[in-house]
């Protein structure tokens, strides 16, 4: 087997970065990496900052250091050069390696990739098919000119997180990078004050928490919760369809999308796949096809003369199926892949999968996953918009993006937790537990094993509390903990729409750039009450951030959130709030940049001072 060395890119790692579980299936390539390190110079100039010292550092690493789950810190900036692979089985990295998948994938013969910290830069000498990585914080100007804005990082998060699986994987990567320890719900837990942990469920919900050093039995959880899912079309179990010389992809609608906005967009697919890997077994992997591979075309005005007067009323069963290819082009591939499957042997699962989905689609997935079509056992795919999230507006005051509802809240919550629990020292004076809970399936009512309607959050609180008091069990410890806990249910809110101002109640008209909207509903569609709103607004006062109020008009229906579900399911005091936005549930939503930073600062303050604020008011004493 000839050795093909391709320089896949060089990633600068920050000195402060911890690298955890760096390599698994790419192990053999890492061995090559050390051995061939000098070779890379033939394929591209080493980055200027690659000093002799860093070269030595890399050379000193034994292959076993990379292969085993291992943690080490680096003392100075380091460029890791990614290398080639000869093995057919090697796949792009995972976990914290996930981040560079796209960079790696756009190169030929990809077998491994690098990990980088949140603000690192990427220099690459490869030919990239895909778009450039989102700009780093230092290069992107944000409305308001704040140098500490988290908006650029939010854009990166949005662009990575096309599905709840990807959002969860990215949250997990950031938590691991920050040194949080991963727990598994199936294993025993041993947590302790000062410790920082998280677990995922179904790889679409995630719960992260940090225990104060001064934790005392019965002290509460301070949680910010949001959701990872957004409305979108999802592929049917049998998606292959064809009509009038086109290959269509059958989809079912997920949630209450503004489905007309999905027409005439450059679409693709992303989700999770079950793959059989040679020498590894059956594995759960994520896939994201970055290039636009399909589209839902509208009907021309000439064939639909009344559309502007009578409205665009697509039939969701017959009109929403994206077009993948023309039949004539797909037949070219079909004859090729039939020969392949005959020679590779019949596999029952794949035989049915091939019948169920267009071979062309399977081929694209296989290329993306660096496997054969036969190795794809099953998948769960969403239709996604390929247009990246971006800053917009004359003064750069807007974010234009899909999935703001509710990845914007998810990101602000996660980031606030990470930044207030950077290390054990940041928890020195904390006597409570800070947590983030991001749930799947909110858009369809939260009734799933990983949704807010499941006991996932209660079980986590129960387990953590019981373990922490295991040596001195006391009566009602979990119930007391819950009564002392507080939940911020964060979900996007409806900003006043300039062209439809009458849709808002006259005195409750949330505006962009004016902070988190506290949502009230007398009928408990939102869980906010006077006490929870008061306490959360007290946090805002101390943090110096604004808030605004919302109630829906009495002659209109009201949306809901995970707030009432968690409040009623767990019995936790809850405030419902959210950043104001427009175009909610459109494929392309918009919100204000300042509100993102306000929400982040509000959540940060909540984690840092709520223990003190909570002491101001006692209701049931």
Stretches 333-341, 395-403, 427-435, 486-494: which one binds Zn ion (CB under 5 A)? 486-494
Give the nearer residue to Zn ion in terms of CB position, either 262 or 439.
Answer: 439
Coil/strand/helix, residue 71: strand
- Specify whether the CB–CB gap between 108 and 5 falls below 8 A: no
Stretches 266-274, 464-472, 487-495, 522-530: which one binds Zn ion (CB under 5 A)? 487-495
- Least distance to Zn ion, CB of residue 386, Å: 22
- Least distance to Zn ion, CB of residue 559, Å: 8
Judged by CB under 5 A, how many residues of this single chain contact Zn ion?
3
- Least distance to Zn ion, CB of residue 442, Å: 6
Residue 248: exposed, middle, or buried by beta-carbon count in 10 A (0-12, 13-18, 19+)? buried
- Least distance to Zn ion, CB of residue 166, Å: 17
Q: How many residues does the chain have?
A: 621
- Least distance to Zn ion, CB of residue 229, Å: 8
Stretches 85-93, 479-487, 489-497, 511-519: which one binds Zn ion (CB under 5 A)? 489-497
Neighbours of 54 (CB within 10 A): 20
Q: Which helix (H) or strand (E) segment is 562 a member of?
A: helix 562-570
Give the nearer residue to Zn ion in terms of CB position, either 376 or 438.
Answer: 438
Coil/strand/helix, residue 390: strand
- Least distance to Zn ion, CB of residue 604, Å: 21
Tokens of 11: 């990633």
Strand 376-385 to strand 78-81: parallel, antiparallel, or no bridges (unpaired)? unpaired
Give the nearer residue to Zn ion in terms of CB position, either 382 or 406.
Answer: 406
- Least distance to Zn ion, CB of residue 418, Å: 22
* 100 binds Zn ion, rule: CB under 5 A: no
- Least distance to Zn ion, CB of residue 498, Å: 22
Stretches 159-167, 479-487, 491-499, 588-596: which one binds Zn ion (CB under 5 A)? 491-499
Give the nearer residue to Zn ion in terms of CB position, either 239 or 441.
Answer: 441
Place of tokens 């697509």: 314
Q: CA triplet 539, 178, 581: central angle to 5 degrees?
A: 45
String of contacts with Zn ion for each residue 577-606, x by CB under 5 A = ------------------------------
- Least distance to Zn ion, CB of residue 200, Å: 20
- Least distance to Zn ion, CB of residue 585, Å: 8
Coil/strand/helix, residue 346: coil
Give the nearer residue to Zn ion in terms of CB position, either 401 or 406.
Answer: 406
- Specify whether the CB–CB gap between 363 and 337 falls below 8 A: yes
Tokens of 471: 């040596």
Give the nearer residue to Zn ion in terms of CB position, either 579 or 598.
Answer: 579
* 29 binds Zn ion, rule: CB under 5 A: no
Stretches 87-95, 259-267, 299-307, 485-493: which one binds Zn ion (CB under 5 A)? 485-493
Give the nearer residue to Zn ion in terms of CB position, either 325 or 579.
Answer: 579
- Least distance to Zn ion, CB of residue 208, Å: 20
Among 100, 153, 385, 491, binds Zn ion (CB under 5 A): 491
- Least distance to Zn ion, CB of residue 378, Å: 28
User: HSE-up of 318 (CA within 13 Å, CB side)?
Assistant: 4
Give the nearer residue to Zn ion in terms of CB position, either 430 or 589.
Answer: 589
Give the nearer residue to Zn ion in terms of CB position, either 406 or 509.
Answer: 406
User: Residue 552's closest CA among 493, 487, 505, 585?
Assistant: 505
User: Residue 539's closest CA among 442, 607, 444, 483?
Assistant: 607
Give the nearer residue to Zn ion in terms of CB position, either 98 or 405.
Answer: 405
String of contacts with Zn ion for each residue 379-418, x by CB under 5 A = --------------------------xx------------
Give the nearer residue to Zn ion in terms of CB position, either 212 or 231.
Answer: 231
The C-alpha torsion from 167 through 562 and 568 to 558, rounded to 10°, is -170
Stretches 98-106, 153-161, 371-379, 488-496: which one binds Zn ion (CB under 5 A)? 488-496
Within positions 114 to 133, which residues make up the interface with Zn ion, using CB under 5 A? none
| Residue 315: partners with Cβ closer than 8 Å, 6 or more residues away | none
Tokens of 60: 């000193």
- Least distance to Zn ion, CB of residue 224, Å: 14
- Least distance to Zn ion, CB of residue 576, Å: 11
User: Residue 194's closest CA among 211, 182, 209?
Assistant: 211
Within positions 340 to 359, which residues make up the interface with Zn ion, using CB under 5 A? none
Tokens of 173: 């990567």
Tokens of 531: 């006490």
Give the nearer residue to Zn ion in terms of CB position, either 202 or 406.
Answer: 406
Give the nearer residue to Zn ion in terms of CB position, either 203 or 452.
Answer: 452
HEC sequence for 96-157? HHHHHHHHHHCCCCCCCCCCCCCCCCEECCCCCCCCCCCCCCCCCCCCCCCCCCCHHHHHHH
* 170 binds Zn ion, rule: CB under 5 A: no
Give the nearer residue to Zn ion in terms of CB position, either 100 or 589.
Answer: 589
Give the nearer residue to Zn ion in terms of CB position, either 29 or 405.
Answer: 405
- Specify whether the CB–CB gap between 230 and 587 falls below 8 A: no
The C-alpha torsion from 63 through 65 and 66 to 70, rounded to 10°, is 170
Cα-trace Rg, the chain: 25
Peptide bond into 560 cis (omega under 30): no
Give the nearer residue to Zn ion in terms of CB position, either 89 or 253.
Answer: 253
- Least distance to Zn ion, CB of residue 561, Å: 7
Secondary structure letter of residue 451 according to DSSP:
S
- Least distance to Zn ion, CB of residue 406, Å: 4
* DSSP, residue by residue, 455-492: THHHHHHHHHHHHHTTTS--TTHHHHHHHT-EEEEE--
Secondary structure letter of residue 298 according to DSSP:
P
Coil/strand/helix, residue 588: coil
Backbone φ, ψ for residue 82 (5° rounding):
-90, 150
User: Residue 105's closest CA among 320, 289, 379, 338?
Assistant: 289
Within positions 217 to 256, which residues make up the interface with Zn ion, using CB under 5 A? none
Tokens of 279: 């020498």
Residues contributing to the site for Zn ion (CB under 5 A): 405-406, 491
């Amino acid at each position: 087997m000839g050795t093909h060395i391709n320089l896949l890119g060089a990633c600068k790692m920050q000195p402060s970065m911890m690298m955890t579980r760096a390599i698994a299936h790419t192990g053999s390539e890492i061995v090559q990496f050390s051995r061939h390190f000098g070779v890379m110079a033939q394929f591209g100039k080493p980055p200027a900052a690659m000093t002799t010292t860093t070269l030595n550092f890399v050379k000193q690493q034994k292959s076993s250091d990379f292969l085993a789950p291992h943690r080490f810190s680096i003392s100075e900036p380091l460029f890791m050069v990614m290398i080639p692979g000869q093995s057919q089985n090697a796949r792009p990295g995972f976990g914290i390696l996930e981040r560079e998948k796209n960079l790696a994938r756009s190169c030929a013969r990809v077998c491994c990739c690098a990990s980088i910290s949140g603000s690192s830069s990427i220099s690459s000498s490869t030919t990239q098919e895909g778009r450039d990585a989102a700009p780093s914080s230092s290069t992107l100007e944000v409305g308001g000119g704040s140098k500490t804005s988290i908006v650029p990082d939010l854009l990166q998060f949005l662009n990575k997180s096309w599905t709840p699986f990807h959002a969860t994987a990215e949250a997990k990567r950031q938590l691991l990078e920050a040194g949080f320890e991963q727990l598994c719900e199936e294993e025993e837990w041993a947590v302790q004050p000062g410790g920082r942990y998280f677990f995922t469920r179904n790889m679409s919900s995630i719960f992260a928490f940090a225990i104060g050093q001064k934790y005392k039995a019965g002290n509460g959880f301070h949680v910010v919760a949001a959701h990872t899912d957004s409305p979108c079309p999802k592929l049917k179990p049998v998606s292959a369809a064809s009509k009038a010389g086109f290959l269509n992809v059958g989809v079912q609608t997920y949630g209450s999308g503004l489905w007309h906005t999905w027409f005439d967009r450059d679409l693709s697919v992303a989700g999770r796949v079950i793959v059989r890997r040679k020498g590894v077994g059956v594995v759960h992997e994520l896939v994201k096809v970055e290039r636009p591979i399909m589209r839902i075309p509208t009907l021309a005005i000439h064939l639909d003369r009344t559309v502007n007067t009578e409205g665009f009323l697509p039939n969701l069963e017959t009109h929403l199926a994206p077009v993948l290819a023309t039949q004539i082009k797909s037949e070219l591939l079909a004859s090729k892949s039939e020969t392949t499957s005959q020679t590779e042997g019949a596999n029952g699962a794949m035989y049915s999968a091939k019948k169920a989905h267009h071979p062309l689609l399977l081929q694209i997935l296989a290329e993306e996953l660096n496997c054969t079509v036969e190795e794809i056992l099953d998948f769960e795919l969403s239709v996604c918009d390929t247009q990246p999230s971006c800053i917009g507006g004359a003064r750069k005051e807007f974010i234009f993006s899909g999935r703001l509802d509710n990845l914007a809240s998810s990101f602000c919550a996660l980031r606030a937790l990470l930044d207030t629990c950077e290390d054990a020292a940041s928890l020195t004076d904390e006597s409570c537990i800070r947590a983030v809970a991001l749930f799947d399936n909110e858009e369809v009512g939260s009734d799933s094993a990983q949704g807010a309607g499941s006991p996932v959050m209660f079980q986590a609180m129960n387990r953590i509390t019981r373990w922490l008091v295991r040596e001195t069990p006391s009566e009602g410890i979990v119930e007391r903990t819950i009564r002392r806990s507080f939940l911020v249910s964060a979900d996007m809110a409806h900003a006043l729409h300039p062209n439809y101002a009458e849709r808002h109640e006259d005195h409750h008209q949330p505006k962009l750039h004016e902070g988190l909207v506290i949502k009230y509903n007398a009928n408990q569609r939102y869980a906010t009450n006077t006490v929870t709103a008061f306490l959360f607004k007290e946090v805002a006062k101390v943090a110096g951030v604004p808030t605004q109020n919302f109630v829906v008009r009495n002659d209109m229906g009201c949306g809901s959130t995970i707030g009432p579900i968690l409040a009623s399911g767990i019995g936790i005091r809850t405030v419902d709030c959210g950043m104001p936005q427009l175009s909610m549930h459109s494929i392309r939503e918009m919100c204000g940049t300042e509100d993102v930073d306000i929400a982040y600062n509000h959540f940060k303050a909540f984690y840092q001072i709520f223990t003190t604020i909570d002491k101001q008011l006692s209701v049931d004493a």
